[in-house]
């Protein structure tokens, strides 16, 4: 499936970066890329030359892109003729969208932010809106965010672009009075709304005494190796802060207790959170090791799509946008294809 994702995403990239004055050169590049991924695509999906796997189901677990502005999400699988009688059964498939918040004002200044509540920068606002365009056709029934404003702003701004035009409403459950005062009494209005549940468990990793410090100055003060150890190790926290392991304990526990039941019930979920809390959740979803997760990078404002079906999470990649950067923002394996693609162009 990964190879299929890369194939379609990279073809979209070629269309975006193609040379309009040299059609033959563009066609040659596309054929080269096809040869690069076709073997891995067949192996990963168990396909025959006709595209049918041994289970009798056609695999469609890819995101197609025909231009820089389109995003068409195929179903995880579609029944073959032999299983046509099953098409009337209700699917328990649900979508899970993960979005790291857009750039914050402290990201812009290269400061350690952690759990300090800093809003989005102008660029971050634009990233959140662009993320919304990428997911505008994907159904969303409930939104989870951290308790921090940059994640909440990202969720709200993204939803302004959604085609269903439902209004996201933050649920205030911190007290009985808060719940009472924020009640909605119109059933029609409720149907046109999406609940937004904010939780501190989805907050960014707490960086302790590093919060508010310039990253370069911190490296000068403590040494590059020590700062790199704090940032990229799994179980070593900065002074009076959290390690990635500690962040994962709270974020994954919350996901399993509060978010996964929503998916099991068939609801489509979006999570707007932070680099480390989302890395923790992805570690759980993709069954990554502690060594694999520390090399995982997530770009600001780039949505990632998973499909939950039959108790399993299937990663579908990033819905395409006008920039190819987000296509390669997820794993080393995608970065490898990025390198090979770049070598074709240069």
The helix (run of H) or strand (run of E) holding residue 277 is helix 275-286
Annotated binding site for substrate: 100-107, 113-114, 150, 204-207, 215, 231-232, 275-276
Of 17, 98, 48, the closest CA to residue 318 belongs to 98
> In terms of pLDDT, which residue wins out, 266 or 5?
266
pTM of the entire predicted model? 0.69
pLDDT at 18 over 80: no
Please report the pLDDT score of residue 95 as a whole number: 97
> In terms of pLDDT, which residue wins out, 31 or 188?
188
Mean predicted lDDT score pLDDT of the chain: 77
pLDDT at 273 over 70: yes
Q: For residue 267, name the pLDDT band (cuts at 50, 70, 90).
A: very high
> In terms of pLDDT, which residue wins out, 215 or 62?
215
Q: For residue 49, name the pLDDT band (cuts at 50, 70, 90).
A: very low
Homologous superfamily of 94-309 in CATH? Phosphoglycerate mutase-like (3.40.50.1240)
In tens, the pLDDT along 59-74 reads 333 333 333 333 323 3
Q: At CA 111, angle to CA 170 and CA 289, rounded to 5?
A: 75
Rounded to whole angstroms, the Cα distance separating 122 from 119 reads 10
Q: Which of 204, 242, 260, 324 is catalytic?
A: 204
Q: Which of 101, 127, 162, 324 is catalytic?
A: 101
Dihedral of the alpha carbons of 161, 202, 302, 63, in degrees to the nearest 10? -80
Sequence spans of domains, the chain? 2-91+330-345, 94-309
Q: Assign 195 to helix, strand or coil.
A: strand
Rounded to whole angstroms, the Cα distance separating 299 from 112 reads 16
Q: For residue 321, name the pLDDT band (cuts at 50, 70, 90).
A: low
204 given a catalytic annotation: yes
274 given a catalytic annotation: no
Of 211, 232, 230, 213, the closest CA to residue 221 belongs to 213
Q: For residue 87, name the pLDDT band (cuts at 50, 70, 90).
A: very low
Please report the pLDDT score of residue 202 as a whole number: 99
In tens, the pLDDT along 115-126 reads 999 999 999 999
- The rounded Cα 296 to chain-centroid distance in angstroms is 12
The answer to whether the beta carbons of residues 314 and 298 sit under 8 Å apart is no
In tens, the pLDDT along 103-117 reads 999 999 999 999 999
Please report the pLDDT score of residue 92 as a whole number: 78
The answer to whether the beta carbons of residues 276 and 244 sit under 8 Å apart is yes
Annotated binding site: 100-107, 113-114, 150, 204-207, 215, 231-232, 275-276
Please report the pLDDT score of residue 67 as a whole number: 33
pLDDT at 193 over 80: yes
In tens, the pLDDT along 123-142 reads 999 999 999 999 999 999 99
Please report the pLDDT score of residue 320 as a whole number: 61
pLDDT at 300 over 50: yes
Torsion over CA: 9, 333, 317, 342 (sign): negative
Per-residue pLDDT, averaged over 34-52, amounts to: 44
Percent of residues, the chain, with pLDDT higher than 70:
66
Please report the pLDDT score of residue 55 as a whole number: 41
Kind of pairing, strands 94-100 and 269-273? parallel
In DSSP notation, 64-99 reads E-SSTT--EEPPSEEE-GGGGGGGGSPP--EEEEEE
183-187, 235-239, 335-339: which has the minimum mean pLDDT?
335-339
């Amino acid at each position: 499936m990964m190879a299929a994702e890369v194939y379609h995403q990279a073809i979209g990239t070629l269309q975006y970066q193609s040379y309009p004055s040299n059609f033959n050169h563009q066609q040659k590049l596309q054929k080269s890329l096809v040869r690069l991924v076709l073997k891995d695509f067949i192996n990963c999906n168990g396909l025959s030359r006709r595209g049918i796997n041994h289970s009798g189901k056609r695999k469609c677990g890819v995101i197609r892109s025909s231009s820089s502005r389109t995003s068409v999400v195929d179903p995880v699988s579609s029944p073959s003729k032999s299983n046509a009688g099953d098409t009337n059964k209700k699917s328990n498939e649900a979508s899970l969208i993960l979005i790291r918040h857009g750039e914050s004002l402290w990201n812009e200044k290269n400061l350690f932010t952690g759990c300090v509540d800093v809003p989005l920068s102008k660029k971050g606002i634009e990233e959140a809106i662009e993320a919304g365009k990428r997911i505008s056709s994907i159904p969303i029934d409930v939104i989870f965010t951290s308790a921090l404003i940059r994640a909440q702003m990202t969720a709200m701004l993204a939803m302004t672009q959604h085609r269903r035009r439902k209004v996201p409403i933050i649920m205030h459950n911190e007290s009985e009075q808060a719940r009472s005062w924020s009640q909605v009494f119109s059933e029609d209005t409720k149907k046109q709304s999406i609940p937004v549940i904010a939780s501190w468990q989805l907050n960014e990793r707490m960086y302790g005494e590093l919060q508010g410090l310039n990253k370069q100055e911190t490296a000068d003060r403590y040494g590059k190796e020590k700062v790199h150890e704090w940032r990229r190790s799994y179980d070593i926290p900065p002074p009076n802060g959290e390690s990635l392991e500690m962040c994962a304990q709270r974020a994954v526990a919350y996901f399993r207790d509060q978010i996964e039941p929503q998916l099991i019930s068939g609801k489509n979920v979006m999570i707007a959170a932070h680099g480390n809390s989302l890395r923790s959740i992805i570690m759980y979803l993709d069954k990554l090791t502690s060594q694999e997760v520390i090399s995982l990078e997530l770009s600001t404002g780039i949505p990632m799509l998973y499909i939950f079906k039959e108790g399993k999470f299937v990663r579908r990649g990033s819905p395409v946008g006008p920039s190819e950067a987000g296509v390669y923002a997820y794993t080393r394996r995608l970065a490898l294809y990025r390198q090979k693609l770049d070598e074709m162009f240069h």
